[in-house]
Structure 1
């Protein structure tokens, strides 16, 4: 009995911790405002309303924040994949002096706290006039996301046999042809996983978007805070409804590209 009960209990606890907050967000978003704070709380609302969801699409600020997030996150994902692909290929398939040191230096950059990197980027962007611009957000997101993406793609490129590259060289292919016609098509799962990871990091970022962008260039995370969190009152039902809506693109993208993401993340685990 204990053998059967322990796994079931473990799964139940994991399910509560994983889906409990999501369920409570959904319940709050569907509950009328005057019923949200009643005590004791009701885990199943007596009345359901969609007013909080319709209010989101009637708010022009939220639509602007959504557009900003899509632009910044998409460009960040594309730029990260391009840079990480060439860098990861260099680390995986070339042997040159200082390669190992560069690899660990790239990885060590993840040890610095985000706030420390933010101070440096803010000073640089202020001097070149990039504060409150898409470019500042794209560069900051890419800087913070790139190191881990480089290592993800390096692990994927490590699984590609060197004989495939040697055969292409024998056929007269240059490095450009090898990368674009052979390695990149073969590495599609790794590229998709890296791009999705970079998109999610850009979509969820709060501190960079809050500090480097003004109201017209802010993305969804700081935009939601500025819209629904007031000095004396917080519109919790509207905030929960907006949180569910802005999570949909990431959930849909992850669901569609899940097999590529799993293949890309596990590519470097086993070699040979």
Structure 2
């Protein structure tokens, strides 16, 4: 039985090639309405979130005589940078900025350090009372933080820790630990136990296994937990106002003391300062966005 290979090849080469045309699928009316509704919702939510930021910026750029008029301009007719230049002349704001950086960085490092050990214990060890401790950590989020202010003030006053960085760091770390612990526990649950067992077989101690094997794999979660603790410490107002004096206060109460008064409020200057002090947090989010999204996604997966 012979096969005419040459003839088939000639017929294939002689056959005209059909042009590939992209088929445009027309959307049905239901799909169009659903897509229009989705884009409308996204637009409304975006405007709802960005409108306060826009109002902050235009207020900071508006002169004082036009910022306090009865009908403020949605689009400023005059623009000034004088409110931003005043910030460089205010030495108190620089001191508040330094205090915020010190407290936020120390709080984020301490929160990540403590929560990593706690989360690893809850995830990889089995011991009596483990579930009760986990529920206690979660239940601590049910109490309003303002209720603990009087107790913390009395404790720090008795121990001589008022008006110190340590008072703020301990307070903020206490409030950020529960979420950081549960976030990191979810990430540690996704790490296979076979890796821990393999490291133990190779002779690595539990301490070395945690620091050499587990923590590098959980780096996105550590970044997400640290960023959450940093933002929580950076934005706190009531504890920074109550537990410290003017020398150790952070930016939120410092801005209030500087620009808000009993008889007059410098809104344009306050808006300019608020815009400037929000830049570090926005920059941190932009730089660590990839790790933040990966850490939150990994922490949400149940192992």
What interval of TM-score do these two structures reach, taking the shorter chain for normalisation? over 0.9
Partner of 1:123: 154
1-side partners of 2:54 and 2:230: how far apart? Answer: 25
Post-superposition shift, 1:225? 0.5
Q: Which blocks of at least 5 consecutive residues in structure 1 are unaligned? A: none
Tell me, yes or no, if structure 1 residue 113 matches structure 2 residue 144.
yes
Alignment of 1:160-175 (within 5 A): 160-175=191-206
Post-superposition shift, 1:211? 0.3
Tell me, yes or no, if structure 1 residue 80 matches structure 2 residue 111.
yes
TM-score by length of 2: 0.88
Deviations 1:195-229 (A, max 9, x none): 11100000000111000000010000000011100
Pair 1:5–1:116, CA change in 2 (3 A):
same
Tell me, yes or no, if structure 1 residue 222 matches structure 2 residue 245.
no
Alignment of 1:60-79 (within 5 A): 60-79=91-110
Tell me, yes or no, if structure 1 residue 31 matches structure 2 residue 62.
yes
Of the two structures, which has the highest relative contact order with CA contacts closer than 8 Å and spacing of 6 or more? 1
Deviations 1:130-189 (A, max 9, x none): 000001011111011111111111111011000000000000110110011111111110
TM-score by length of 1: 0.98
Secondary structure in 1 matching 2:75: coil
- Pairing partner for 1:47 from 65, 69, 78: 78
Pair 1:263–1:63, CA change in 2 (3 A):
same
Tell me, yes or no, if structure 1 residue 211 matches structure 2 residue 242.
yes
Equivalent residue pairs, number? 272
1-side partners of 2:153 and 2:250: how far apart? Answer: 17
2-side partners of 1:76 and 1:245: how far apart? Answer: 22
Deviations 1:81-139 (A, max 9, x none): 10000000000000000100100100100111111121121111001100000010111
| Structure 2 contact 187–301 (Cα < 8 Å) conserved | no
2-side partners of 1:8 and 1:260: how far apart? Answer: 28
1-side partners of 2:258 and 2:302: how far apart? Answer: 49
Alignment of 1:87-166 (within 5 A): 87-166=118-197
Secondary structure in 1 matching 2:278: helix
Post-superposition shift, 1:271? 4.5
Partner of 1:261: 292
Post-superposition shift, 1:7? 2.1
Cα RMSD for the two superposed structures: 1.1
1-side partners of 2:37 and 2:302: how far apart? Answer: 35
- Pairing partner for 2:223 from 184, 192, 217: 192
